[in-house]
Structure 1
């Protein structure tokens, strides 16, 4: 960007210019406007516009020119754009800004929520969308756009964003495709997913932090984000990435090509027009933590949990911070298994060694044929079982077939039916439980409670963190009631397989071997031996 298109430079120049020089400035600006309907402001906004990343995160404090960047790129860089907000009505501000840039609403169709226009002799289509309903993302399946823009993405569900990103493509080989996510720091726990998604830039505990604008490469393997060293394609061979391979020996869908990702922070001070308008003073007057979030772009300030969240996020983070890998894991006390077969859910098995929980064993449900779900699921449990640990299995659905095979092989297990009633009470004895689901999940809360004299350590996994933070409770006449799993799935966008499995592993059931030893000792004891 030249000084002539830097608004701060232009203002300073205008103040000292003669009338003749001002006429020349007007002529130059009019000429530039005839060729460029919009330009990014010099600084962070132009860095985001020029970034070569496939996915760019842009944001931080309020007033950094986030929505304006979306408008500008959709008009100047892309042929087919889709702009998403949580609610479609929230796109009205973007429509108003587009009207300012274009000078009219010609081409805008309010019924179709789309805008057709021509800029620089290139036809442009801009579509506006909301992702409020649990299934709204499905309306965009198969609809390609070379520009996908998510405004205030922390208000949107992660799985819906990822789903709609899947059709970021163009039939024009010369058209660049990109995803832009704009956001302020999340104000609710549900928006925290962006911190892990842009972990190298936003997570202060990330082992390999990245600089603003630095490109990092990611792909998804078995449903989890995996950071790669670079953009080289690879295949998975015997469970490991293989870079030296013959492409002719693998089908195209087996060849993994990492995509680039970056984050560029913005501040209100990067937006010259807002600085000049006094908007900084407005942000300075906000109460904390909004002041730190909106003025300073602090992603760690004041994210509040839902008051009915079962396990506070801080407790989960503390337990994850305590976790370290172990070579000597100690005796295995319990296994927790959430069973899936033939679908998009996962079978997940967690093992507990005292108060230390091991990394999960995760098997995609599609790899377990439904007609053989029982023996295959039981086989995974038996293979990973040590020290005659008790397996706690969710018996609803495919878990019943699994339990039947465990019984046939004399493997000690507990078939946990979450719908069954509970006779137990909370640790302080004050409340009962509506059913076994409430009991098992609340016990995990008690295990992670910082006042617990035996602090637990759980793996630091984003999916596990999201699952454990998603449980919600109510107090009913029957006791503590936990949000039904189906509602939780809609909220998360996936089944809480990890959360349920680790809560099952947290259960404590006496091992059969210990019971048999106690019986033997009782039988050997001579109750009359000490009588005179």
Structure 2
């Protein structure tokens, strides 16, 4: 739809007949009685988008707060708008009051922070200060959810609450709006995964702004599907929800674009300037100061990947990160020398014991290759026993085990095997040393590998050691387990002599290399005769 400037609009009105003017006044009066009128352009498109889950924003000043509040006034009844911290709610509260009071209802502050509409509608504003604070709102059905500055939330917080999106009101639409500038620092990387068709430049099937795409979430992992409807996975049916991204800019907001706000954004340092002024979701992906693997090295390795393993190269190894029950996943990944395959993933509930995991590993194996299983958390022990009894060349990876060797430059030793394996993956990916490693273009893998952090520890006897941060910190940072990253780390370390054979496998190996003891008593008796 073409937008008219004020002079063009005045010219159109001047040509109207008397009856047409009366009809226009009647329509205008009805519109002006609404609490919220969107700006022409992206804000209007976003308000009327049919997406179940909408990501809206990009540039600062694009009208995210107004859309989040206005959408509830426009077409919803029971709503919840969240900020990561409750102290950040002031702007939302003030805008809600400015368009809602006194004609449409009243705002109740204090511990409630609720706008009560005259027709019985209810909008609560709250913060999720702690990772588990989303549980305070679980069990309370909502037909509308909005996350202001969505990049500051954990993925688990957002998608856990989406599970309570529903209404018993006949004909009531349910929707989610994520309003966000590009995430800053290491936060919000999950948005690049969950909205990959619009934000990930490596995504195989990119989408246009505002275009609807459908996805199901199986075991916490998004799977893009062909369209609306139900899809069966593992004997369970999943209902697809639509998603889209609509970018917004400062130029789309007539209330801010001529106020000098642009000059303030232009004065910001990079990468914040590009994030907020241009809405770039990639400009802000600046590496953390203590990030182990540079993001650009990961991107280059994924760009080298092809869909088939190299011809004439046998499978070198298979690695498995085991989850037995719970919300984590079992990940299995093969390796053909420098080429690393795609993951075979299973929800933890689908791999409840060692035999189940071992069976899936065997399906992936080729060429009697070596198998490495994470045994650090105790879950991999049963799997290793099953593989060993099947005479498979298998090894346990225990991250807490002692390390040997040093960094490539010889300056640092390692705190433990986990630190050594993660750092040596960094060295294997270093383009300065001609890395040929090809990693699958999996957004979660890229996010996992970029989430490792390190520090340098001085040791008592002199020298320094590299320590890699614990998995629990990564889980909190990502909002999930870094199981794909851990699997690739183990796969790269599959040649290390620090890996441990399970006892059953070692017993079989010893039996094969021990000469049988033969009873020669009868021969001795013959010589005596």
Give TM-score, length-normalised by structure 1.
0.83
How far 1:39 moved relative to its partner?
Answer: 0.9
* Residues 224-255 of structure 1 deviation map (CA, whole Å, 9 limit, x = unaligned): 3222222143434xx8xxxxxxxxxx9xxx33
Q: For structure 1, which segment, 445-454 or 400-409, has the greater mean C-alpha deviation from structure 2 after superposition?
A: 400-409
Any idea what SS the aligned residue of 2:395 has?
Answer: strand
Provide Cα deviations, 1:51-76, integer angstroms capped at 9, x if missing partner.
11111111111111110111111223
Selected match of 1:469 from 439, 445, 450: 450
Query: Quick one: structure 1 residues 379 and 201, their matched pair in 2 at CA, closer, same or farther if it must change by over 3 Å?
Result: closer
CA contact (8 A) 1:335 1:504 kept: no
State the Cα distance separating 1:332 from its structure 2 match.
1.4
Which whole-Å CA distance do the structure 1 matches of 2:496 and 2:50 have between them? 57
Residue from 91, 111, 128 that aligns with 2:125: 128
* Counterpart in the other structure of 1:242: none
> Quick one: structure 1 residues 508 and 111, their matched pair in 2 at CA, closer, same or farther if it must change by over 3 Å?
closer
Shift of the alpha carbon at 1:328? 4.9
CA positional deviation for 1:31: 4.2
- In structure 2, the CA distance between the partners of 1:452 and 1:83, relative to structure 1 (3 Å rule), is same
Q: 2:351 aligns with which of 345, 361, 368?
A: 368
- Whether 1:208 and 2:205 are equivalent positions in the alignment is yes
In the alignment, the residues of structure 2 paired with residue 443 and residue 193 of structure 1 have an alpha-carbon distance, to the nearest angstrom, of: 26
Distance 1:508 1:341, change over 3 A: closer
Moved more, 289-298 or 492-501: 289-298
Tell me, what secondary structure is at the counterpart of 1:138? helix
Structure 1 residue 407 and structure 2 residue 388: aligned?
Answer: yes
Q: Report the counterpart of residue 345 of structure 1 in structure 2.
A: 328
Q: How big is the shift at 1:342?
A: 2.2
Distance in 2 (CA, whole Å) between partners of 1:387 and 1:33 is: 70
The answer (yes or no) to whether the contact 1:471–1:482 under 8 Å persists in 2 is yes
Question: Secondary structure of 1:424's match?
Answer: coil
Q: Distance in 2 between matches of 1:496 and 1:2?
A: 47
Match of 2:294 in 1: 312
**CA offset at residue 477 of structure 1?**
2.6
Is 2:432 the counterpart of 1:451?
yes
Match of 1:61 in 2: 59
User: Residues 334 and 506 of structure 1 are in contact (CA less than 8 Å); yes or no, is this contact kept in structure 2?
Assistant: no
Residue segments in structure 2 that go unaligned for 5+ positions in a row: 15-21, 460-464, 502-508, 514-529
Aligned residue for 1:299, secondary structure, equals coil
- Give the aligned partner of residue 439 of structure 1: 420
> Which is further off, 45-54 or 359-368?
359-368
Unaligned runs of 5+ in 1: 18-23, 240-249, 521-532
Compute the RMSD of aligned alpha carbons.
2.9
Q: 2:520 — aligned with what?
A: none
2:166 match: 169
- Does structure 1 retain, via aligned residues, the 8 Å contact 2:315–2:334? yes
- Shifted more, 308-317 versus 276-285: the winner is 276-285
SS in 2 for 1:204: coil
CA pair 374-206 structure 1, distance change in 2 beyond 3 A: closer
* 3-state DSSP of counterpart to 1:256: strand
Deviation at 1:28, TM superposition (A): 8.3
Alignment counterpart, residue 275 of structure 1, candidates 238, 257, 265: 257
1:29 CA drift (Å): 11
Q: Does 2:395 correspond to 1:395?
A: no
Residues 2 and 117 of structure 1, relative CA distance in 2, 3 Å threshold: farther
Matches within 5 A, 1:474-489: 474-478=455-459, 479-489=465-475
Question: Could you tell me how far apart the structure 2 residues matched to 1:55 and 1:112 are?
Answer: 26
Please name the residue that 2:117 is paired with: 117
Deviation (angstroms), 1:81: 0.9
Whether the 8 Å contact between 1:375 and 1:405 is mirrored in structure 2 is: yes
1:530 is aligned to none
User: Is the CA contact 1:201–1:209 (under 8 Å) kept in the aligned structure 2?
Assistant: yes
**Separation of aligned partners in 1, 2:265 and 2:223:** 37
User: Which residue of structure 2 lines up, in the alignment, with residue 88 of structure 1?
Assistant: 86
Indicate the residue corresponding to 2:277 in structure 1: 295
Aligned to 1:428: 409
The residue that corresponds to 1:50 in the other structure is 48
Structure 1 window deviating more from structure 2 (145-154 vs 405-414): it is: 405-414
Q: State the 1:83 CA deviation.
A: 0.6
Give the aligned length.
481
Query: 1:491: how far off?
Result: 2.1
Other-structure match for 1:358:
341
Using the TM superposition, give the Cα deviation of residue 173 of structure 1 relative to its aligned residue in structure 2, in angstroms. 1.9
TM superposition shift of 1:217: 1.6
Asked whether the equivalents of residues 182 and 284 of structure 2 are also in contact (C-alpha less than 8 Å), the reply is no
Moved more, 497-506 or 100-109: 100-109
Shift of 1:10: 8.9
Q: How does 1:186-205 map to 2 (within 5 A)?
A: 186-205=183-202
Q: How far apart, in 2, do the equivalents of 1:88 and 1:418 lie?
A: 38
The aligned residue for residue 504 of structure 2 is none
Contact 2:429–2:435 (CA<8 Å) still a contact in 1?
A: no
Q: TM-score, normalised by structure 2?
A: 0.84
2:238, 2:284 → 1: CA distance?
38
CA contact (8 A) 2:52 2:175 kept: yes
Shift of 1:214: 1.6
The Cα of 1:142 is off from its aligned counterpart by: 1.4
Which residue number in structure 1 is paired with residue 357 of structure 2?
377
Cα shift readout 1:150-175 (whole Å, capped 9, x = no counterpart)? 11111111121111111111110221
How far does residue 9 in structure 1 lie from its aligned partner after superposition? 2.8
Greater Cα offset, 133-142 or 264-273: 133-142
